[in-house]
Structure 1
Amino acid sequence: MKYLREMIGETLGTFVLVLFGCGSVAVSVLFNAHQGLMQIALVWGIAVTLAIYLTRHLSCAHLNPAVSVAMVFGGRMPIARLPIYIISQFVGAVTAGLVIYGLFSPSIAAYETAHGIIRGTADSIKTAMLFGEYYLSPGSTAVVSMHLALIAEAFGTLLLVLMIFALTEGCNVGRPDDGLAPVFIGLTVTSIICLIAPLTQAGLNPARDFGPRMVAFLMGWNDAAFPDQDGGFFFVYIVGPLLGGIVAAVFVVRILEPAMKTPPCCS
């Protein structure tokens, strides 16, 4: 089957990324297992690193629709492959969401009972957050409008895609060894989460957000899984990362790569 290895790579890699990443959020909320943003951010960075090492020989390990779209705009991947990559990424993310729900369903129910949460009501966002991000999250002290949240997600994804291009671009002689690139991409994710998670919980990846969020919707959270009636979910966590990835790709191709290929003035 054409593109089979790419399908396997993107599905498996996105599954691992979302399983470990969302799993860290779940155990933090349900069991108070992690203390502070940095610990969760580190787990997400490790998840990204492991997922890339696992699958980059199969599909170059995009694991994110925003990265795949950026690769098309940057001329690194033909557009014909894009639907296969995006579908596989969403399949992997949904599967991870289902596994997380299967593992923690009894604990989620117990948590809801202990805290008087009725699933499907507005208050159940507190447990729906195990699956999807919320830029208007309960208990947050951040003041965030939909427009600011969109900009934050776009900017965070721009930084991520910029570093991916820089760490894998042959003309960047300052990049680390190819074998270490996944580690630095994971550290980039950790750093970006530490920066923008207080505003949007740092999605940076439409598949990572929509896949588990859809699982929450199907498992009884209903409107609490998609609480923003103004389209905030779509614009912030889908459009924002895609725009950030596209801008990063255009910047790299039009400005950064030509600058890297120009001999330094001191040579």
Structure 2
Amino acid sequence: MSMPLGKRMGAELIGTFWLVLGGCGSAVLAASFPTGIGLVGVALAFGLTVLTMAFAIGHISGCHLNPAVSVGLVVGGRFPVKDLVPYIIAQVVGAILAAAVIYFIASGKAGFEVASGMASNGYAEHSPDGYSLAAGFASEVVMTAMFILIIMGATDSRAPAGFAPIAIGLALTLIHLISIPITNTSVNPARSTGPALFVGGWALQQLWLFWVAPLIGAVIGGALYKGLAREP
């Protein structure tokens, strides 16, 4: 990256802010409205945040917006390990700021309850459709691994130029269509951390899974693509 680290961190903060505001915000503010957007709309909202930010800041920071993506790119040899922690810090801060904005707006409506209204990720009794810890763990690992593989493939210098944001945005949409009923879909530890801090209680107790599983998936996805793409 030719940009100074401070500018790249700023871009990651803004980009992750937009991802959480657009994705979690759509779930909190628009999913259950009488003419709400529902599961499909929320899935599309998450995909659109990545697609739009990839065009807006991809040339500045690479548009990771996700600690798991940064880890996967390190494993895949696409990102320097020295920049990993600063990127993760910027991403988590952006997610927390977005969650704060969502909380402020949502709490302006009578009857809002933070314990169930911040699009937090969960398993077992806090899974949207009652899926177990094991099912949630497996889902997060597999979905993140595939997400990293798609990101690395779409941004490979040998891939068709200019289409990476579309492929990545559609991949995130598909991931949400599959896994919202299971865990509310994380595949992104920063996205999980922001809302969990406001919900507290069960969301913080279960947050570990939404760091551990996506990071394991990121390592698998990064290593898998690196092995597949290596030319003989």
Considering only CA atoms, is the larger Rg found in Structure 1 or Structure 2?
Answer: 1
* Corresponding letter in the other structure for 1:126: S
Residue in 1 aligned with 2:221?
A: 248
Alpha-carbon distance, 1:35 to partner: 4.1
Distance, in Å, in 1 between the alignment partners of 2:121 and 2:104 is 20
Residue in 1 aligned with 2:207?
A: 233
Residue in 1 aligned with 2:29?
A: 27
Query: Which residue of 160, 175, 179 maps to 1:176?
Result: 160
Alpha-carbon distance, 1:141 to partner: 4.0
Change (3 A) 1:139 1:183: closer
Query: Which residue of 127, 150, 155 maps to 1:163?
Result: 150
**1:17–1:48 CA contact under 8 A, matched in 2:** yes
Distance, in Å, in 1 between the alignment partners of 2:30 and 2:123 is 18
Deviation per residue, 1:151-209 (Å, 9 max, x gap): 100111111111000101123xxx3332x211111100011111111111111100001
Distance, in Å, in 2 between the alignment partners of 1:183 and 1:160 is 13
Provide the identity percentage: 34
Alpha-carbon distance, 1:93 to partner: 0.4
Residue in 2 aligned with 1:88?
A: 90
Residue in 2 aligned with 1:76?
A: 78
Residue in 2 aligned with 1:115?
A: none
Q: Secondary structure, in 3 states, of the residue corresponding to 2:207?
A: helix
Unaligned 5+ residue runs, structure 1?
Answer: 113-118, 218-222, 263-267
Distance, in Å, in 2 between the alignment partners of 1:58 and 1:176 is 20
**1:10–1:61 CA contact under 8 A, matched in 2:** yes
Q: Secondary structure, in 3 states, of the residue corresponding to 2:107?
A: helix
Deviation per residue, 1:224-259 (Å, 9 max, x gap): 433x5xxx4302x110100001101111112x102x
What is the 5 A alignment of 1:1-267? 3-28=5-30, 31-107=33-109, 110-112=110-112, 125-127=115-117, 130-136=118-124, 140-142=128-130, 144-171=131-158, 175-178=159-162, 180-217=163-200, 223-226=201-204, 228=205, 232-235=206-209, 237-254=210-227, 256-258=228-230, 261=231
* Corresponding letter in the other structure for 1:111: G
Q: Secondary structure, in 3 states, of the residue corresponding to 1:111?
A: coil
Q: Secondary structure, in 3 states, of the residue corresponding to 2:170?
A: helix
Distance, in Å, in 1 between the alignment partners of 2:85 and 2:176 is 27
Alpha-carbon distance, 1:126 to partner: 2.3
Runs of 4+ in 1 over 6 A off after TM superposition: none
Q: Secondary structure, in 3 states, of the residue corresponding to 2:78?
A: coil
Alpha-carbon distance, 1:215 to partner: 2.9
Distance, in Å, in 2 between the alignment partners of 1:32 and 1:46 is 23
**2:31–2:37 CA contact under 8 A, matched in 1:** no
Output the TM-score relative to the length of structure 1: 0.80
Output the TM-score relative to the length of structure 2: 0.91
**1:27–1:33 CA contact under 8 A, matched in 2:** no
* Corresponding letter in the other structure for 1:250: A
Residue in 2 aligned with 1:220?
A: none
**1:45–1:188 CA contact under 8 A, matched in 2:** yes
Change (3 A) 1:167 1:104: same
**2:192–2:207 CA contact under 8 A, matched in 1:** no
**1:126–1:138 CA contact under 8 A, matched in 2:** no
Residue in 2 aligned with 1:265?
A: none
**1:69–1:242 CA contact under 8 A, matched in 2:** yes
Change (3 A) 1:35 1:13: closer
